[in-house]
């Protein structure tokens, strides 16, 4: 906390320095193309298909959640950074990204105070207490969501998604994963792919998640190793479960349903709370996939992406320490 202020001041004081080595995301860069603001803009662009899918499926409910969460996160960021006596840098858009991801991870029916509390907790307890952007151990949006999920199990649990009286088609049935657990029914793969099913706002359409996620990976804003590791390990475990005849969901169901693709591309790839090295990213992604399948197959929760990401976030410092890359030409000779 105390050490980054002089570093920032130093970087601003010497504009002629061309090599600036620091963990991502970067508050400033001499080239201008790789700033935090641009990374966050990339994420927002990639989230557009998901937002569109959410608007098509959930209409005004999606607008409501998005507005509440984004406004809360931005206000909380401004308020809490000011309390800490720091300059609130809202232009880096990181609070907006947290707000959008948080909103897309909530159910359509969540009452207004859920977004308000989740946004405040996400920014306050998930980010600013650790020292702000780049210092947080856990993904802020998932900290906020975990808090409200434990806080309001009725308003956010599996039953909150379903409403027989709603005018929306998608929400008359339970979410695909809940249906599989409770009723032993499996949704059609085509509807899971397009997104006309029940679920959290951003997770229903696999197509939108793939479109946005591949854009992020091509732009190198998100690490493809994390997404690939998550999806591959989920697929392997799901295939084993399918071959053993456990449950009604096939391997493709497990990949397309629930928040797996959304989590793999948008939540797990948060550059702050994920490992730095390629090997570490593979370990991180595979771990998330294994935890997701562990929770889907053996726990009381139908879905486990949020807890899987938070659990693996906690191991990130350890993974970083394990996977320090070997320098070219071998390690430096020991100074005696």
Partner 1 sequence: MTEAATAAGPVDSGPTAGERFINGILPENPIYRQLLGMCPTLAVTGGMQPAMTMTGGVLFVLVCANVIVSLIRGLLKPHLRILVFTLTIATFVTIVDRFLAAYMYQMSKQLGPYVPLIIVNCLIISRCEVCASKQSVRVALADAVGQSIGFGLALASIASVREILGSGTWFGMRVLPAAWPEWVIMVLPPGAFITLGLLMGLVNWYVDRRQPSRR
Note the residues at the interface with partner 1 (CB under 8 A): 111, 113, 117, 125, 147, 150-153, 155
Between 150 and 167, CB nearer to partner 1: 150
Between 159 and 277, CB nearer to partner 1: 159
Between 151 and 232, CB nearer to partner 1: 151
In the beta sheet, which residues pair with residue 200?
107
Phi, psi values for residue 200, rounded to 5°: -65, 160
Minimum separation from the CB atom of position 311 to partner 1 (A): 15
Contact 69, 106 (CB under 8 A): yes
Minimum separation from the CB atom of position 101 to partner 1 (A): 21
Coil vs helix vs strand at 200: strand
Minimum separation from the CB atom of position 322 to partner 1 (A): 28
Between 124 and 263, CB nearer to partner 1: 124
Contact 313, 134 (CB under 8 A): no
Count the helices and strands in the chain (H runs, E runs): 15, 0
Minimum separation from the CB atom of position 146 to partner 1 (A): 9
Token digits of residue 189: 């793969």
Minimum separation from the CB atom of position 150 to partner 1 (A): 4
**Angle, vertex CA 77, rays to CA 75 and CA 80, nearest 5:** 105
The b-or-e profile of 239-271 (16+ CB within 10 A means b, else e) is eebbeeeebebebbbbbbbbbbbbbbbbbbbbb
Calpha distance 202→219 (Å, rounded): 21
CB under 8 Å to 315, separation ≥6 — which residues?
Answer: 284, 287
Between 152 and 193, CB nearer to partner 1: 152
Burial class (CB in 10 A: 0-12, 13-18, 19+), 297: middle
Minimum separation from the CB atom of position 1 to partner 1 (A): 14
**Angle, vertex CA 105, rays to CA 65 and CA 41, nearest 5:** 80
| CA neighbor of 293 nearest in space, from 248, 255, 333, 335 | 255
Between 43 and 128, CB nearer to partner 1: 128
Between 137 and 214, CB nearer to partner 1: 137
Minimum separation from the CB atom of position 89 to partner 1 (A): 23
Minimum separation from the CB atom of position 128 to partner 1 (A): 12
Coil vs helix vs strand at 267: helix
Between 151 and 239, CB nearer to partner 1: 151
Calpha distance 274→40 (Å, rounded): 16
Between 240 and 314, CB nearer to partner 1: 314
Minimum separation from the CB atom of position 228 to partner 1 (A): 33
């Amino acid at each position: 906390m105390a050490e980054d202020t002089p570093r920032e001041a130093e970087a601003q004081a010497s504009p002629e320095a061309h090599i600036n080595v620091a963990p991502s995301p970067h508050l400033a860069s001499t080239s201008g193309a790789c700033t935090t603001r641009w990374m966050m803009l990339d994420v927002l662009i990639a989230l557009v298909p998901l937002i569109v899918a959410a608007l098509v499926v959930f209409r005004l409910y999606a607008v409501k959640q998005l507005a509440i969460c984004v406004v809360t996160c931005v206000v909380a960021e401004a308020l809490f950074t000011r309390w800490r006596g720091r300059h609130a840098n809202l232009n880096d858009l990181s609070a907006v990204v947290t707000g959008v991801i948080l909103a897309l991870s909530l159910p359509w029916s969540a009452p207004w105070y859920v977004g308000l509390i989740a946004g405040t907790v996400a920014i306050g307890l998930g980010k600013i207490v650790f020292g702000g952007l780049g210092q947080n151990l856990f993904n802020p949006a998932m900290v906020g969501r975990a808090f409200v999920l434990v806080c309001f199990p009725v308003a956010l649990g599996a039953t909150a998604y379903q409403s027989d009286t709603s005018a929306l088609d998608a929400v008359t049935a339970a979410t695909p994963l809940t249906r599989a657990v409770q009723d032993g029914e499996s949704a059609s793969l085509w509807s899971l792919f397009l997104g006309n099913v029940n679920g959290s706002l951003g997770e229903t359409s696999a197509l939108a998640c793939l479109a946005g996620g591949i854009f992020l990976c091509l732009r190198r804003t998100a690490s493809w190793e994390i997404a690939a590791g998550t999806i591959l390990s989920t697929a392997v475990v799901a295939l084993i479960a399918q071959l053993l005849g456990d449950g009604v969901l096939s391997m493709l169901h497990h990949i397309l349903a629930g928040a797996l693709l959304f989590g793999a591309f948008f939540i797990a790839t948060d550059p702050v709370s994920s490992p730095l090295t390629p090997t570490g990213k593979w370990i991180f992604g595979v771990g998330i996939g294994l935890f997701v399948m562990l929770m889907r197959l053996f726990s009381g929760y139908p879905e486990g992406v949020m807890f899987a990401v938070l659990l693996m976030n906690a191991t990130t410092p350890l993974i970083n320490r394990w996977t320090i890359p070997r320098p070219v030409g071998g390690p430096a000779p020991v100074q005696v």
